[in-house]
With several copies, the nearest count.
Chain A
Amino acid sequence: MTARAGATGATAKTARARTAKAGTATPKADGVAAKAVAADTATAVSGKLVTYREAMREALREALIRDERVFIMGEDVGRYGGCYAVTLGLLEEFGPERIRDTPLSESAFVGAGIGAALAGMRPIVEIMTVNFSLLALDQILNNAATLLHMSGGQFNVPLVIRMATGAGRQVAAQHSHSLEGWFAHIPGLRILTPATLADARGMLWTALEDPDPVLIFEHGALYNMSGMLDPAATPVDIGTAAIRRPGRDLTIVAYGGTLAKALTAADQLSADGVAAEVIDLRTLRPLDDATIMESVRRTHRVVIADEGWRSGSLSAEVAARITEQAFYDLDAPIERVCTAEVPIPYAWHLEEAALPQPATIVAAARRAVG
């Protein structure tokens, strides 16, 4: 525990200073939120062309360089280069002690990450995909999320767990889950869903600075997304939502894999003269109620796009909170666009029909404003 506060304390402080300066941070105050989007857009034209995968890799490299307590552990993160090639080249650069290939033992290596974090390391554990995270869920819930409270504040767990999530590539029922909503149910965790290059690049260091366990869900469809990214853009805040597109007629709440779809839907709606505001939740736990409610108070109509199965998805929590906190501001029932309640089928047309799509978001928006 002491190691955390000791030797590398300076590193941590530097990082905090940087966080405060970073242009891509998304402050909570309303007026500024729009500026954050502008900043994001600005970054996107002046920087270097990178993919989401590369942005994530660069964040990992930076962490490994900045903090010697950081190491990466997971299945095929080393020799193979990561099942999504995120960690490609890191083994060669940092060696097998810090880039650790594990056996197929999700519970053991996630739990070992918790243990190493307890001992003051800063492990980044990669679970290939959320589909296999169930095998480690006991460790995450009953140890990572619980130890601090259960020990009366003695043992914190500065662990980062990354995993891919989501459907859309015809890999069928067992490989297409979107279960981040479950993790967002667990007190003691922070749940991040980077959906932009800046967040892919910037969330990791902030997560590593966090004294408590942070889970990062990377939607599989995002890895090949590319765009311009300021090479200087580093840490971003976590815990706030961002308005990715301002609008006055309705609020579309999205995150991770649904953000791009929501933005496409907003484009289509604007052609019809409907100005949709698009919120990227960014952090699923804690949810940034303030940003959501402020938007709803302006637009009075809400669509939530969530790739989870509808019943019991995160969208339900967002809807419930809006009804609790902005009930009298609502002019129409909240619409949810979620995944159909079906194991995701292999067939392309069935998978497409099962998932939220720009067209279904547009249709929901029309119902909401209609």
Chain B
Amino acid sequence: MTGQPRQPAATPQPASGDAAHRRELLREMVRIRRFEERCVELYSAAKIRGFLHLYIGEEAVAVGVCQALAPADSIVSTYREHGHALARGVEMDSLMAEMYAKVTGCSRGRGGSMHLFDTSHRFYGGNAIVGGGLPLAVGLALADRMRGAGRVTACFFGDGAVAEGEFHECMNLAALWELPVLFCCENNLYAMGTALNRAQAETDLAARAGSYGMVAWAVDGMDVIAVEHAARRGAEAVRGGGGPHFLELRTYRFRAHSMYDPDRYRDKSEIERWKARDPIDALAAQMKQHGEITDDDVEALEQGIAAEISRAIEAAEVAAIEPVEDLTRFVYSPRPA
């Protein structure tokens, strides 16, 4: 009822065309990895508090998907969002300052790790209610659709969210109204301690999405090139008026669910098997094999990232905190005069 008939997906653009691009992908993934590794240390040092959910192992997903997005596109994320924010271009300084709860943080210290926001990157924030971001993505896409904006909204969520009623309602609404959403389901096989097959009758999540009549693919989420390729294909189809598309990104978190999780529910051997497929190692090895990168290049890249992280930490350390008097500021918008 809401307009153009469903079109065939646009021809995918050639993804990851050259070595320079691959180097960039590698750099982005390493940047996320190192950032989070430092976050763990900072958490132990009580510089970062509250919940901290690490993306380590899943970097190829955020980096690959974000390649396919234009600046005018929107992103809706979860509480496991450092990767999404960094890959999207949210400045590391403002991100680190947010973890430090400083006023220079991207949410002025009010959000923390789970609630990174950035208007300038159309980063509509981390949502810490599982499934809670899905309707926002549907609504952003609805607005774009009504205005003919030609934008894509990328919506990240986990395998666990697929069991929530909200998922169902949103899949149906997006499919029914043919809204420009690229659903990016990060299937890391666990929702906290509950394995996918102990939580869902249908463990093929692309098939689940397909049951709403939307195009859905499962993608190797440990292969950044494959992710980028699929995301470009999906995003272009969405942008071209093809209605919502769904990517199931098969991945794995190498670390525990959060800093509170003793990770009792997974076999060490399972974790090791997945670590052997580390997306960073995989890309680096492939590039080395093709002579696209040298150990020196990697070293330089690491140093650049280390320096960026150090700068972010230094800045966060010295940044001011929001004055307590401003506690209730932003509960409401400033009233028009």
Q: Do chains A and B touch in the complex (CB under 8 A)?
A: yes
Name the A residues within 8 Å of B172 (CB-CB). Answer: 103, 105, 108
Pair A108/B110 contact, Cβ less than 8 Å: no
Pair B112/A170 contact, Cβ less than 8 Å: yes
Q: A36-44, A52-60, A142-150, A320-328: which lies at the B interface?
A: A142-150
Q: Of the candidates B51, B261, B327, which one forms a contact with A345 in the assembled complex, judged by CB atoms under 8 Å apart?
A: B327
**A112 with B124, Cβ < 8 A, contacts A96-B2, A148-B333, A353-B324 known:** no
Q: Of the candidates A109, A155, A171, which one forms a contact with B125 in the assembled complex, judged by CB atoms under 8 Å apart?
A: A155
Would you give the shortest CB distance from B329 to chain A, in whole angstroms?
Answer: 7
Give the docked Cα–Cα distance between A106 and B161 (Å).
11
**A151 with B107, Cβ < 8 A, contacts A108-B166, A113-B139, A132-B129 known:** yes
**A109 with B332, Cβ < 8 A, contacts A76-B193, A101-B198, A104-B199 known:** no
Pair A114/B135 contact, Cβ less than 8 Å: yes
Among B118, B141, B194, B195, max chain A CB count under 10 A is at B194
Pair A342/B327 contact, Cβ less than 8 Å: yes
The reply on A110 being an interface residue by CB < 8 A is yes
Pair A171/B139 contact, Cβ less than 8 Å: no
0 or 1 for each of A103-137: is its CB under 8 Å from B? (1 = yes): 11111111111111111110100000001100100
Name the A residues within 8 Å of B193 (CB-CB). Answer: 76, 78-81, 101
Would you give the shortest CB distance from B331 to chain A, in whole angstroms?
Answer: 5
Give the docked Cα–Cα distance between A348 and B143 (Å).
36
**A120 with B324, Cβ < 8 A, contacts A104-B131, A150-B115, A172-B110 known:** no
The reply on A6 being an interface residue by CB < 8 A is no
Pair B110/A353 contact, Cβ less than 8 Å: no
Chain B, residue nearest A170 (CB): B50
Q: Of the candidates B1, B51, B101, B142, which one forms a contact with A116 in the assembled complex, judged by CB atoms under 8 Å apart?
A: B142
Give the docked Cα–Cα distance between A132 and B166 (Å).
13
Name the B residues within 8 Å of A110 (CB-CB). Answer: 135
Give the docked Cα–Cα distance between A75 and B118 (Å).
32
Name the A residues within 8 Å of B124 (CB-CB). Answer: 115, 118, 155
**A346 with B139, Cβ < 8 A, contacts A79-B193, A152-B106 known:** no
Would you give the shortest CB distance from A159 to chain B, in whole angstroms?
Answer: 9
Q: Of the candidates B115, B176, B333, which one forms a contact with A211 in the assembled complex, judged by CB atoms under 8 Å apart?
A: B333
Would you give the shortest CB distance from B21 to chain A, in whole angstroms?
Answer: 31
Pair B117/A96 contact, Cβ less than 8 Å: no
Pair A174/B199 contact, Cβ less than 8 Å: no
0 or 1 for each of A321-364: is its CB under 8 Å from B? (1 = yes): 00000000000000000001111011111100110000000000
Pair B173/A341 contact, Cβ less than 8 Å: no
Would you give the shortest CB distance from A232 to chain B, in whole angstroms?
Answer: 23
Pair B135/A115 contact, Cβ less than 8 Å: yes
Name the A residues within 8 Å of B146 (CB-CB). Answer: 71, 97, 116, 121
Pair A114/B324 contact, Cβ less than 8 Å: no
The reply on B165 being an interface residue by CB < 8 A is yes
Name the B residues within 8 Å of A152 (CB-CB). Answer: 105-111, 117, 330
Pair B166/A101 contact, Cβ less than 8 Å: no
Give the docked Cα–Cα distance between A171 and B112 (Å).
8
0 or 1 for each of B1-38: is its CB under 8 Å from A? (1 = yes): 11100000000000000000000000000000000000
Interface residues on B, range: 35 or more
Q: Of the candidates B130, B147, B173, B331, which one forms a contact with A187 in the assembled complex, judged by CB atoms under 8 Å apart?
A: B331
The reply on B164 being an interface residue by CB < 8 A is yes
Q: Of the candidates A79, A114, A156, A175, which one forms a contact with B194 in the assembled complex, judged by CB atoms under 8 Å apart?
A: A79
Pair B50/A153 contact, Cβ less than 8 Å: no
Would you give the shortest CB distance from A56 to chain B, in whole angstroms?
Answer: 17
Give the docked Cα–Cα distance between A135 and B195 (Å).
22
Name the A residues within 8 Å of B166 (CB-CB). Answer: 107-108, 111
Pair B163/A103 contact, Cβ less than 8 Å: yes
**A80 with B324, Cβ < 8 A, contacts A108-B138, A174-B129, A175-B51 known:** no
Would you give the shortest CB distance from B185 to chain A, in whole angstroms?
Answer: 13
Give the docked Cα–Cα distance between A348 and B327 (Å).
11
Would you give the shortest CB distance from A149 to chain B, in whole angstroms?
Answer: 4
Would you give the shortest CB distance from A80 to chain B, in whole angstroms?
Answer: 3
Chain A, residue nearest B160 (CB): A104
Pair A107/B50 contact, Cβ less than 8 Å: no
Name the B residues within 8 Å of A117 (CB-CB). Answer: 139
Give the docked Cα–Cα distance between A175 and B166 (Å).
18
Pair A108/B170 contact, Cβ less than 8 Å: yes
Chain A, range 162-192, C-beta contacts under 8 Å to B:
169-175, 187-188
Q: Of the candidates B51, B101, B139, B330, which one forms a contact with A153 in the assembled complex, judged by CB atoms under 8 Å apart?
A: B330
Name the B residues within 8 Å of A187 (CB-CB). Answer: 328, 331
Give the docked Cα–Cα distance between A131 and B105 (Å).
25
Pair B114/A172 contact, Cβ less than 8 Å: yes
Pair A153/B169 contact, Cβ less than 8 Å: no
Give the docked Cα–Cα distance between A80 and B256 (Å).
11
Give the docked Cα–Cα distance between A347 and B99 (Å).
9
The reply on B305 being an interface residue by CB < 8 A is no
Would you give the shortest CB distance from A235 to chain B, in whole angstroms?
Answer: 13
**A170 with B49, Cβ < 8 A, contacts A151-B117, A152-B109, A346-B110 known:** yes
Name the A residues within 8 Å of B271 (CB-CB). Answer: none
Name the B residues within 8 Å of A121 (CB-CB). Answer: 142-143, 146
Name the B residues within 8 Å of A112 (CB-CB). Answer: 135-136, 138-139, 142, 173
Would you give the shortest CB distance from B213 to chain A, in whole angstroms?
Answer: 14
Pair A107/B336 contact, Cβ less than 8 Å: no
Give the docked Cα–Cα distance between A101 and B134 (Å).
19
Pair B332/A212 contact, Cβ less than 8 Å: yes
Pair A346/B109 contact, Cβ less than 8 Å: yes
Give the docked Cα–Cα distance between A341 and B332 (Å).
11
Which 3 pairs across A and B sit closest by C-beta, in order of nearness? A115-B139, A111-B135, A80-B193
Extra contacts besides A101-B193, A105-B172, A132-B130 (9): CB < 8 Å? A76-B194, A103-B172, A104-B160, A119-B143, A150-B110, A152-B106, A155-B119, A173-B115, A347-B321
List 21 A-B residue pairs with CB atoms under 8 Å apart, sorted by A's residue number.
Answer: A76-B192, A76-B193, A76-B194, A96-B2, A105-B169, A108-B138, A112-B135, A118-B140, A148-B331, A153-B330, A154-B118, A169-B50, A171-B51, A173-B115, A187-B331, A212-B332, A340-B328, A341-B331, A345-B322, A346-B109, A349-B324
